Each structure stands twice: as C-alpha cells, then as structure tokens.
Amino acid sequence: MEHNIFNLKEYLIQKKSSILTSWFHLLLEVYPKEARRHLQNQKNQFSNPVGSNYYQGLETIYGELIEDMDNDRLYQALDKILRIKAVQNLSPSQAISFIFSLKKVVRESLIKDFKNDKIPFMELLQLENRIDDLALLAFSIYIDCRETIYKLRIHEIKTKCELLERVNK
C-alpha cells in the first residue's frame, strides 16, 4: 500500500471490514471454543442474537472512534455488549478487555501494510487515547449493569423469603 500523505482516518475507513472481523474474534476469546464457534456466526440476529449484538455494537463503536465520538451512540453500543457480559458474570477485566484489543488489531494492520514506512505516531496516539477513554466508559457501564443484576437478585431473594414466611404462617 503506497501513500504520499498518510491519513489514519482514511486508512481505518478503508480497513474497516478486516479490522472489525479481527476485533470481533478477539472479543470472543473469553468464551470456550464451542461457544466461540457459534458466536462467530454473527449474521443472523435471530439464530445468534448475542453474536449479532456483539458485532453490531463493535461496528458502531468503531465508527464513532473514527468520527465524532458521539457519547450517546457510544454508550448505547457499549451497553448492548456489556449487558450480555454482565449477565454472563464475567470479571470486569474479562468484560472490557475487548476495548483494549482494538489497539492491537490496528497496530498489527498498520505494521502489515506499512512494513518500513513511518506510521504517524501522533495520529495513532490520539486514536489510542480515544480507546482508553472508551475503556473507562465501558468499565462504568459494566459496573452499573452488575449493580442492577445484584439489586434484582436481592429483590428476588426478599420476595421468596416473604412468600416462604406467608406459607409457613
């Protein structure tokens, strides 16, 4: 790939499909092999709603990182992914590690395409700072989701206890 003036944004738009696919596969690494195989078939939202939601969420996040970083759209896309991960009871580090893996995917793509060329460090650094900010937002969303789950469980336990007390009277 030859470039006179390198533009990271244009490069990321051009490489969207391959970067998203690699990022999606890294997101699935926290799952066992059999589950990964099923989730990778993200195309049909009805037979594979989790994989579909993951891929759609990543696609939105990727677009926002390249463009304006609209906080509402980022929040919704992250929430779509992290609600699922919260229900699956993953640790916070397992749940949000996919955010940081985007750095790896972008770096590997740049190195592959620009072996000896100079990659503009400042543009890459700005992107990585955006990814770090995104990880902080993801952590907050994940913790909020887990808190909601704990509150629901406590409410369920209280309801069962009240029922048992009525039955035992």
**Taking 60 as the threshold, does the pLDDT of residue 95 lie above it?**
yes
The secondary structure of residue 29, as a DSSP letter, is G
What value does the mean pLDDT take over residues 61-90? 91
Question: What pLDDT is stored for residue 162 in this prediction?
Answer: 81
Question: What pLDDT is stored for residue 5 in this prediction?
Answer: 59
Domain 8-168 has CATH 1.10.287: no
| 51 token code pair | 């994989």
pLDDT per residue as tens digits for the range 23-38: 999 999 988 898 888 8
pLDDT per residue as tens digits for the range 109-120: 998 887 767 777
> Which pairs with CB-CB distance under 8 Å and at least 24 residues apart come from 153-156?
none
Q: How far apart are CA 131 and CA 92, in angstroms?
A: 17
Q: Is residue 7 left, alpha or beta, with left meaning phi > 0 and alpha meaning psi from -120 to 50?
A: beta
Full-model pTM: 0.83
